[in-house]
Amino acid sequence: KNQVEQSPQSLIILEGKNCTLQCNYTVSPFSNLRWYKQDTGRGPVSLTIMTFSENTKSNGRYTATLDADTKQSSLHITASQLSDSASYICVVSDRGSTLGRLYFGRGTQLTVWP
Amino acid sequence: EADIYQTPRYLVIGTGKKITLECSQTMGHDKMYWYQQDPGMELHLIHYSYGVNSTEKGDLSSESTVSRIRTEHFPLTLESARPSHTSQYLCASSVTGGVYEQYFGPGTRLTVT
């Protein structure tokens, strides 16, 4: 069964600190992995997309890593800001269907305190 | 900022009413999607479309229906709303082919009393 598991479920950090969010997946055949940021009451916004051959990708203070062998990914946030408070969702796409189905994790709820 | 819009943003309605959630995009994307999301849970695909006059059911069974008469418009209709339909509904669109990016609308928070 294709699944995406994220940890921790929730995380509280102080402004200016770094943090790392984890994602494990069992989706096969693998096509790509995405990290989305979803603010409360809003739709998800893409942060990074990585294909099988990519190990790391950065978007400003966000850096995602991918280990396709162990089927693990992480999202590292550097020098956190209050605006980083949101749910971070790991999404994996398969290449076994014409649609390129997306499998969503439940997200990590990050809260940044001043 | 993605050019995909959803109306209404919030809707509170009584049981048995018919409702239509609107979704439109100005990016010319062929593919459009409807997802359902409950608090703290993952998004579930309920409908998708490859293009005009194409509609398919997603992974999660839904009593809603969709139509795709125009490329930019993908409305979702519930003929008779029930409390079990209370949820957040997210619309998305993407191009066809390659490692496509899905752009999401802001969502409609539906509450059925």
pLDDT in tens, A79-102: 999 999 999 999 998 876 556 678
Asked whether the beta carbons of residue B106 and residue A42 sit closer than 8 angstroms, the reply is: yes
Q: Is B54 helix (H, G, I), strand (E, B) or coil?
A: coil
* Nearest chain A CA: its distance from B4 CA (Å): 10
* Nearest chain A CA: its distance from B31 CA (Å): 9
Is B98 an 8 Å CB contact of chain A?
no
Structure tokens at A47: 């942060």
CA angle at residue A29 from A100 to A75, to 5 degrees? Answer: 80
Distance CA B103, CA B27 (A): 10
CB-based contacts of B105, cutoff 8 Å, min separation 6: A43, B2, B4, B5, B6, B23, B25, B90, B91, B92
pLDDT, one tens digit per residue, over A49-80 is 998 889 999 999 999 999 999 999 999 999 99
pLDDT of residue A97: 59
pLDDT of residue A95: 77
Which residues of chain A neighbour B107 with C-beta distances below 8 Å?
41-43
* Nearest chain B CA: its distance from A87 CA (Å): 9
pLDDT, one tens digit per residue, over B20-77 is 999 999 999 999 999 999 988 999 999 999 999 999 998 887 889 999 999 999 999 9
Q: Which residue of A has its CA nearest to B36?
A: A43
- Find, among B48, B71, B55, the residue nearest to A102 by Cα: B48
pLDDT of residue B1: 56
Is B81 an 8 Å CB contact of chain A?
no
Which residues of chain A neighbour B43 with C-beta distances below 8 Å?
44, 89, 104
